[in-house]
Amino acid sequence: MNVSKIVDIVFSDSPKLPCSYSVVLAEGMNLFPVLMYILMEGAKRLHGHITFDSITREQAQKLNMYMESLGYTLHYKVFPETKSIDIWFVPYIPKYTCHGIPYN
């Protein structure tokens, strides 16, 4: 399946539960550019033309919910002085109490 189709599926409705979808790549493919493409295209669909120096916390949280549905948590750090941003993804880790009970 091509990446544009993944964007269509993931962003066609409200965010699904974490890890509802999985991204499997051919051997040797780099996951980061694929996740970045999904993130940027999804952001355009949800919010139109936005930049990461103008994105609100609520918009970033909503985008993160979509990325978590793919099994990855979005992390970013904005550097206002250079008008740049670092973006990275980490595998989603479910949140549980010390007794193994899920919590939100």
pLDDT digits (tens, 9 = 90+) for 36-50: 999 999 999 999 988
**Dist. CA 32–CA 70, nearest whole Å:** 13
* Integer CA distances (angstroms), 95 to 11, 25, 98, 100, 104, in order: 24, 26, 10, 9, 7
Residue 97, domain member (yes or no): no
Residue 103, domain member (yes or no): no
* pLDDT at residue 80, rounded to an integer: 84
Residue 62, domain member (yes or no): yes
- Which helix (H) or strand (E) covers residue 76, if one does? strand 72-79
Domain that holds residue 8: 3-91
Residue 98, domain member (yes or no): no
* pLDDT at residue 72, rounded to an integer: 97
Per-residue pLDDT of the chain (104 residues), as tens digits, is 789 999 999 999 999 999 999 988 889 889 999 999 999 999 999 999 887 667 888 999 999 999 999 999 999 988 888 888 899 999 998 877 677 777 76
